[in-house]
Structure 1
Amino acid sequence: MTDTQQGLREALKVVAVALKSGEAPFALAGSYGLWARGGPEPEHDVDFMVAEEDASRAQGLLADAGLHVVQPPEDWLFKVYVDDAMVDVIYRARSRPIDRSRFDDVDQIEVESVLMPVLSATELMADRLNAMEEHACDFGRVLPVARAVREQVDWALVAEESKENPFATAFLFLLRQLGVVAAP
């Protein structure tokens, strides 16, 4: 494990514990959500999701916990820093507000000794594929993740949720060709 990964794991725990102290639903998302479900460990940042209606309260909880909270120019997230590790708290995805219902089907998973809600592998993979675009479509990074969590994913639902994204469609074709997932 690298120093960066150690810092991200610590940030993940600190932010999760602070968010748990509030009443608003949240969930571990992104690459670390996939890591919690058996995927490879990332080295960039940690992502949590909150409902847009709870974003201000979550921001306040984290600031009250003594964490460094920053509102970047983007209007869909805020950032939290734990030492040098960055945590994104996302409240809008694909230009749509995140609703509390997004957290209805989370699983409580122990991550680094902290029990926390984690989005389903299906939602995480759909989010990952829908984030692919012309400047961010590295299939080589996503393939090991898809292989690691494949049994946990409803691939038909992922295909349906990402059918408007040609990069996602191409990636799903690749997964079928490689035998990672079955053809529909």
Structure 2
Amino acid sequence: MNGKIVGAFILMTALAAGIALYVFQVYAFYEPVEASGNADVQMTLLASNQPEVILYENFEAIDAESSPIRYRACFTTTMSQPLLTETYKPYDKAVPNVAPGWFDCFNADEIGAALSSGEALAFLGTENIHYGIDRVIAVMPDGRGFAWHQINPCGETVFDGDPAPAGCPPQPEG
């Protein structure tokens, strides 16, 4: 009988730990990002290589301090894909990160498929928004837009413990 009590205790402890881990990963660390109304969505200009605010509406975003790549955002824009392509820097190898299921405006599978088929276009939002992390913007033909943070080649190398490759900005202290 004593073994059943110990086994039940271990099982209940594991179940509680699993539930807590799930809640922390999916809900606890994310917080809504308050829209500023004037600089929430920026893309890097081809001409100056500097980020510029684009026309956008219906902005909603989440972020977490626990990781620089937890940022996700959704918005709409009236700017056409041809105009965006002529004005802003494209982003190669854009891969959207999966958002929590409750942030239902951001579907990484749908965005990824649209990027793969060429239906959606990806642009550099802000390079090195955090060291080694770029903000990527994807825009669908219907004007729906999405933003997320993605590790760039400098970040991939440095985060693996290797020295930064040529052309990367200096690493921040600490």
Instruction: Calculate the TM-score normalised by the size of structure 2.
Output: 0.25
More strand as a share of residues? 2
| Structure ID, larger Rg | 2
Structure with more relative contact order (C-alpha pairs < 8 Å, separation 6 or more): 1
